[in-house]
Amino acid sequence: MPKATGQHKEKVLTALRIKQLTTPGRYADGNGLHLIVDPSGAKRWILRIIVQGKRRDIGLGGLSLVSLADAREKAFEFRKLARSGGDPLAAKRESKKIYPTFKVAAEAVHAEHKASWKNEKHANQWINTLIQYAVPVIGNMRVDRIDTPDVLKVLAPIWLTKPETARRVRQRLSTVFDWAKASGCRVGDNPVDGVARGLPRQIDKDSHHEAMPFEEVPAFLKAMKSTNSSLIAKLAFELLILSATRTSETLLARKTEIDLEAKLWTIPAERMKAKRVHRVPLAHRSVEILKQAIAISGESEYLFPGRDPNRPLSNVVFLSILRRMNVGVTGHGFRSSFRDWAAETTSFPREIAEMALAHTIENKVEAAYRRGDLLEKRRELMTEWARYLTVTNL
């Protein structure tokens, strides 16, 4: 392919000259911009410049789509970017990148995670809540252009009227934006992170046992462990959540109740609401917590002593942590979070979860025939719960 000859002048080519060119070759316009005439007669633009110390040829498109004026404008932008140390090739690739809308991104996240959800009902609820509440507001927006005010428009109408649903939507929105960032479809912070500052505090009529949506518990647990609360209090709170026990059952736990070798915690009848012995199978993380608690509690008989080693932590210690974190739930409510998780995402029978919570079996016939406590099946369930809390971000 012959090269054009002559002096390197600026803006050498004209529309008429370009139309008359039929001989295959490279024709310079100046400043590195060239028109290529292929043997087929097709004409296209390239820009030859130095990018970060190396010579590069950058295609600017065919003449049928890119006029002489457009080619000069593109060439100027790329030369300017190269002179400032940037990479025009990377900028070109970025400009061609297709960014999904929020609706497309949400459907992609749902498809990717659906296989890991054992419960089809939960999988359907996950995407349906976003379709119902988020898609009408931000569904057609590019996922990289959605900001906190847009998320606020989704949540504000349901934040007080449907508080639990709103919290679930918020968590699922956060998951979609985390996916977008990890997929290279978004840069910067997750727009859900700052939305709480624009929302009023939720007030639940039954706030005594207000529960956190189970999707939010893993993130909460991670945040709680990072607070400046005392280590013994944080260990107790984590065990409460992992074991799905009641506040008093956890705080009054004694070392004599623990069998680390058997990975078993036996709570005596006098400390149980139903006045029956309750055996709690311990997941690996629970055993780690108990070993640490035993090591730091000294000579106290309690696993989680307060300032006075002869007394356990105060029964408001968990509420204090929640208030400092500005989280409007209760410690007892995490039992409900566990129960919802078991029902919506696992295939364990209902009675397994009920026994894990030490609930009384209301059906007298069923209670009469069920003399065992299904310990090993409950061990499987609690192991799955611990894995969910420490692995998943959903």
Q: What are phi and psi of 57, to 5 degrees?
A: -105, 120
Place of tokens 């960032």: 181
Determine the pLDDT at residue 369.
Answer: 42
Taking each continuous run of H as one helix and of E as one strand, the counts in the chain are: 17, 7
C-beta of residue 129 within 8 angstroms of C-beta of residue 172 = yes
Determine the pLDDT at residue 185.
Answer: 83
Q: What are phi and psi of 266, to 5 degrees?
A: -110, 110
Determine the pLDDT at residue 208.
Answer: 44
Determine the pLDDT at residue 92.
Answer: 65
The residues near 69 (Cβ < 8 Å, ≥ 6 apart) are none
Using a 10 angstrom Cβ sphere, with 0-12 exposed, 13-18 middle and 19 or more buried, the burial of residue 135 is: middle
Determine the pLDDT at residue 187.
Answer: 80
CA angle 349, 354, 358 (to 5 degrees): 150
Give 34-51 pLDDT, tens digit per residue: 999 988 888 898 888 888
d(CA 213, CA 340): 8
Determine the pLDDT at residue 209.
Answer: 54
Output 69-73 pairs: Cβ under 8 A, ≥24 positions apart.
Answer: 71/29, 71/33, 71/35, 71/45, 72/11, 72/29, 72/33
Q: What are phi and psi of 63, to 5 degrees?
A: -60, -30
User: Going residue by residue through the chain (394 aa), what tens digit of pLDDT does each one get?
Assistant: 444 444 456 788 898 988 889 899 999 988 889 999 988 888 898 888 888 878 888 888 888 888 899 889 888 888 887 787 777 776 666 555 668 899 999 999 898 888 777 677 778 889 999 999 999 999 999 998 999 999 999 999 998 888 888 888 998 999 999 888 887 788 888 899 878 778 887 654 444 457 888 889 999 999 999 999 999 999 999 999 999 999 999 999 999 999 999 999 999 999 998 888 999 999 999 999 999 999 999 999 999 999 999 999 998 899 999 999 988 888 999 999 999 898 888 888 888 888 999 887 655 544 544 556 789 999 999 999 999 998 644 4
Q: What are phi and psi of 143, to 5 degrees?
A: -65, -25
Q: Which CATH superfamily is domain 102-200 in?
A: Tyrosine recombinase, N-terminal domain (1.10.150.130)
Architecture (CATH level 2) of domain 15-96: 2-Layer Sandwich (3.30)
d(CA 192, CA 170): 7
The topology (CATH level 3) of 214-391 is: hpI Integrase; Chain A (1.10.443)
Task: Please list, residue by residue across 34-70, b when 16 or more beta carbons sit within 10 angstroms of its beta carbon and e when fewer do.
Answer: bbbbeeeeebbbbbebebeeeebebebeebeebebee
Determine the pLDDT at residue 203.
Answer: 58
Give 228-284 pLDDT, tens digit per residue: 999 999 999 999 999 999 999 999 999 999 999 999 999 999 999 888 899 999 999
Domain boundaries, the chain: 15-96, 102-200, 214-391
